[in-house]
Amino acid sequence: MLVNNAGIGTASEIGQGCCDLERAVLEVNLFGAWHVAAAALPHLLETRGQVVSVASLLAVVTVPYSASKRGLCALGDTLRLEYGDRLAVTTVYPGYAATPIHGPAAERSGQSLAGIAPEETPQDAARAIERRPRDTANTWQGAVVLRA
């Protein structure tokens, strides 16, 4: 099983941030997952493995960070389209999580999700991944697990 769970973010608006920072977000959140999936693909196909990508609830709303997470969702769709007969692919969309990254980013942007969405922990998202059916991975084929 491959779990694509790397992620960094920025609270900058398009045109307001440094291009290097936005490029780093795309490199880690999207291209990092792409390269790891490509490297693991031969083994995953041979073993009829699984790919679980951890996107974000923010992939379905509009903030600059969304582009990288929407790309991760599209990567999962592409893997499913190309290899779905031999590979189970699932995308998990965790909601607002209490992490050291969120607080400072929200403060810088003047935004907060407190009171809008229930706060969860990274362990909550991990449990959603862990609870996937072990012997019946195909029942999760194409599943989108929203954690809002």
Extended strands (E) in the chain: 2-4, 50-54, 88-94, 144-147
How many helices (H) and strands (E) are present in the chain, helices listed first? 5, 4
- Kindly list the distances between the CA atom of residue 41 and the CA atoms of 19, 45, 74, 98, 142, in Å, as whole numbers in the listed order: 31, 6, 17, 32, 17
**Which is the catalytic residue, given 65, 83, 93, 96?**
65
Determine the Cα–Cα distance for residues 148 and 97; give it in Å rounded to an integer: 10
Residue 94 pairs with which residues in a beta bridge? 147
Instruction: Please indicate whether residue 65 is annotated as part of the active site.
Output: yes
Q: Which residues are identified as catalytic?
A: 65
